[in-house]
Amino acid sequence: MINFFKKNYGIIRTFDFKRHYVKAIYFLLVLIALLAALIAIFPIIWTILSGFKTLSEFVNEPRLLPESYDIGKFIKTWNLLGFGRFYVNSLIVVVGSVIFSILCNGLLGYSLSKVKPKGYKLIYSLILWSLMIPSTTSIVPLFLNIVNLGLQGSFIPLWISAGANAFFVILYKNFFDSIPQSIVEAARIDGCSEWSIFFKIIFPLSYSINAVVAIFTVTAAWSDFLLPYLLLNNTGKETVMVRLFQFRTSIATDVDIIRAVTFSIIPPIILFAFFQRYMMEGIAKGGIKG
Amino acid sequence: MLKKYKKDIAGWMIMLPALLLFTFFIWEPLLASVVMSFFSAKGIRLEKFVGFQNYIEVLQHPDFKAAFSNTFVYTFWSLVIGFLVPIFLAIIINEIIHLKGFFRISVYLPNVIPGLAVAIMWTFIYRAGKTGLLNIILGNLGVPPQAWLTKAHLVIPLIVMFMTWRSAGATTLIYLAGLQGIDPELYEAAAIDGAGLWARLRYITVPQIYNLARTLLILQIISVFQVLYEPLILTNGGPNNASTSLMLLVYKYAFEKFDYSKAAAVSVIIAIILILLTALYNKLVKENEM
């Protein structure tokens, strides 16, 4: 017979379950966890389902769930707001960001971990400090920098901004630190340049860390709104989040807004469904928070 | 001679793309905002050096006092609500044998959703009148509808609750990783010595995650100091400045009053506070490593 309460880690152990009060505590814990899961999931489900309500239902009737489920309402809002365009723009931002994020942060992490040129310690401590400085505090001068280069209304600043991420540099550095230095030394003796060592030897070994960085870059690029809003508002290149931010100042019905929220959260949820293992491992290892 | 420096040059060449981006997006704007805070400006053009004039005017403005003290209220509530919830959740989930994967995924799920979308979702949850989600749920328990976000003494705890809903899952995963790193034999040895469940929690689990908790505490304070879009979307700082934050003050100076110098002055004040906190954090991390 399989023991229902086999547990060889944590505070409560298999032998503790012989006592009745331990079983009671255990079921209490499961109950609390179920409650927490419910609190975590329910608002999301409610938001998605509320999109099926009509405007008068949503504004007047204190009911949890809609009366009917007609997907046509979502299609109507999608067409009304022209959401396809925002999806395409967000996709362009996301793809460019991932490329710059992996290449630039990866190369910097590699140099800090394996090449260590003179003065690398200074750069490393600058990167560590940058972790703590919120990007929003210097958004005005940054915006002016971009305007001076004539890059407002362009996707380029958003792409390349992903290439300057202190978290990812440190993630990469820690990962490369775990690759034996001897592999790199052997390649150097064979006459490989640092570029070819990175692309031909290190890069193929870095699948898992690249996946983590790529996924987090996708979520970050999809979610970002302040800089995209300043650069892309009213240019026809608005991303999904810029469109959501516009609701602050533009007129729209509540049901259209809540359906737009659903449109904006579906892609990240799908991404999570496919890659949840990488995302949750990345959190546990790197301590990244969204 | 050149050969001796070959490695250094190659190392710097590899770092160059990322370093240029870090300079452009993070380091130069930070310095520029310090410079800007000492000048009077017309639009984006700096006019003349005014010394500490911007700082004096900012500090004397009643909005600053409200934002400054609110930031501490945010921090207080995020410690009461946000700090303990992930610790309890992690300990509970770690003890549970059944449905563990489901619990981990579901508490993490809110973290996947873009912050702006979450903020809009929660405006519908906290909505005044009988059709907000919170009022619908409380209505079933016989509580009359409340205008939640107009209550000055409640508005910050409510915003912190929504921030906790979004971010607790990620922190829980970090604690879970820490709990799984505890040597299982410690518990066995304690159990053999007759330690009950409470004693094992008190004398093994708590000391083992104490350092991790201390580090995450500082990180959490640092991130709460930067609270911006939550009050921006939910309350715009209201009612009557009751939920305004320092970052929201920067946002309003910069993008509503277009007074970039004063925005820069507040940014610098925030950056100084954050640098002090970061120094404290680094000191704690160093102690941990020893």
> How much is the ipTM here?
0.87
Give me the mean pLDDT over the A39-47 stretch: 94
B125 near B133, Cβ under 8 Å?
A: yes
Q: How many CB atoms lie within 10 A of CB A204?
A: 9
pLDDT given at position B1: 54
* B28 close to A (CB below 8 A): yes
Domain ranges of chain A: 14-72, 74-286
Residue in the block written with tokens 């104490």: B210
B206 interface with A at CB cutoff 8 Å: no
- For the segment A240-277, what is each residue's pLDDT rounded down to a tens digit? 999 999 988 888 888 899 999 999 999 999 999 988 88
Quick one: average pLDDT of A135-145? 80
Q: Please tell me which residue of chain B has the smallest CA distance to A165.
A: B22
- Per DSSP, the residues of B146-205 read --GGG-TTTHHHHHHHHHHHHHHHHHHHHHHHHHHTS-HHHHHHHHHTT--HHHHIIIII
Output the pLDDT for position A12. Answer: 84
Please tell me the predicted confidence (pLDDT) of residue A1: 39
Contact at CB, B176 and A147, closer than 8 angstroms: no
**Crossing angle of the two packed helices B100-112 and B155-180, in degrees rounded to 10:** 130
Encode pLDDT of A144-166 as tens digits. 889 889 998 999 999 999 999 99
- Interchain pair B187, A10: CB under 8 A: yes
Higher pLDDT pick, A283 / B171: B171
Over residues A75-103, the mean pLDDT reads: 94
Residues of chain B with pLDDT under 70: 1-4, 288-290
Give dist(CA B41, CA B78) in Å, integer.
Answer: 37
Residues in B closer than 8 angstroms to A241, CB to CB, are: 114, 116-117
Question: Is B175 an 8 Å CB contact of chain A?
Answer: no
pLDDT at A289 over 50: no
B276 close contact with A: CB closer than 8 A: no
Angle separating helix axes B155-180 and B206-224, nearest 10 degrees: 140
Mean pLDDT of A198-206: 90
Contacts B200 to A, Cβ<8 Å: 11
Q: Using alpha carbons, select from B180, B100, B105 the residue that is nearest to residue A11.
A: B180
B60-100 pLDDT tens trace: 998 999 999 998 899 999 988 889 999 999 999 998 888 88
Is B188–A120 a contact, with Cβ atoms under 8 angstroms apart?
Answer: no
* Minimal C-alpha gap between B289 and chain A (Å): 16
List the 218-257 stretch of B: residues with Cβ below 8 A of A.
219, 222-223, 226, 228-229, 233, 247, 250-251, 254-255
Q: How many CB pairs below 8 A link A and B?
A: 304
Residue B42: phi, psi to the nearest 5? -110, 110
The model's pLDDT over B27-56, given as tens digits with 9 standing for 90+, comes to 999 888 899 889 888 777 777 888 898 999
Closest residue, chain B, to A144 (C-alpha): B44
The DSSP secondary-structure symbol of B26 reads I
Number of residues assigned to chain A: 290
Q: Say if CB B107 and CB A43 are below 8 A apart.
A: no
**pLDDT reported for residue B3:** 65
Residue of A nearest to B198 (CA): A11
Compute the average pLDDT of residues A25-36.
93
Q: How confident is the model at residue A287 (pLDDT cuts 50, 70, 90)?
A: low
CB A219 within 8 A of CB A290: yes
Q: Identify all chain A residues contacting B114, using CB atoms and an 8 Å cutoff.
A: 219, 222-223, 225, 241, 264-265, 268
pLDDT at A157 (0 to 100)? 94
Does the distance separating the beta carbons of B171 and A289 come in below 8 Å? yes
Contacts with B29 from chain A: Cβ below 8 Å: 138-142, 145
Structure tokens at B243: 């939920």
Cβ–Cβ under 8 Å, residues B82 and B164: yes
Domains and CATH numbers, chain B: 2-36 (no CATH), 53-289 (1.10.3720.10)
- Closest Cα of chain B to A78: distance in Å? 16
Chain A residues within an 8 Å CB radius of B247: 134, 136-137
Q: Is the dihedral of CA B43, B47, B51, B57 positive or negative?
A: negative
Q: What is the mean pLDDT of chain A?
A: 88
Nearest-neighbour CA in chain B from A154: distance (Å):
16
From chain B, the residues in CB contact with A133 under 8 A are 26, 30, 271, 274
Q: Inter-chain contact A117–B11, Cβ cutoff 8 Å?
A: yes
Q: Do B36 and A32 touch (CB under 8 A)?
A: no
CB contact under 8 A, B229 and A248: no
> Residue B245: its pLDDT value, please?
92
Global pTM reads 0.87
Q: Name, in order, each residue with C-beta under 8 angstroms of B227's C-beta and a sequence gap of 6 or more.
A: B71, B74, B159, B163, B245, B247, B248
Residues 54-83 of B with CB under 8 A from A: none
Contact B86, B175 (CB under 8 A): yes
A4 pLDDT band, cuts 50/70/90, is low
* B29:A247 CB<8 A: no
Work out whether the CA dihedral B237, B239, B243, B244 comes out positive or negative: positive
Q: How confident is the model at residue B222, as a pLDDT?
A: 82
CA B213 to chain centre: 15
Greater pLDDT, A280 or B141: B141
Q: Could you tell me the pLDDT band of residue A288, with boundaries at 50, 70 and 90? A: very low
In chain A, which residue ranges form alpha helices assigned H by DSSP? 20-50, 55-60, 72-81, 83-100, 106-110, 120-132, 139-148, 156-161, 166-177, 181-189, 194-196, 203-205, 207-223, 226-232, 240-246, 254-286
**Domain A74-286, CATH:** 1.10.3720.10
Q: Which long-range contacts (CB under 8 A, 24 or more apart) does A125-132 make?
A: A126/B22, A126/B27, A127/A166, A127/A169, A127/A170, A127/B22, A128/A166, A128/A170, A128/B282, A129/B275, A129/B278, A130/A166, A130/B22, A130/B26, A130/B27, A131/A166, A131/A167, A131/A170, A132/B222, A132/B274, A132/B275, A132/B277, A132/B278, A132/B281
pLDDT > 70: percent of chain A = 96
* pLDDT higher than 70, residue A185: yes
d(CA B212, CA B218): 10
- 129-158 in B: which are within 8 Å (CB) of A? 130-131, 133, 135-137, 139, 145
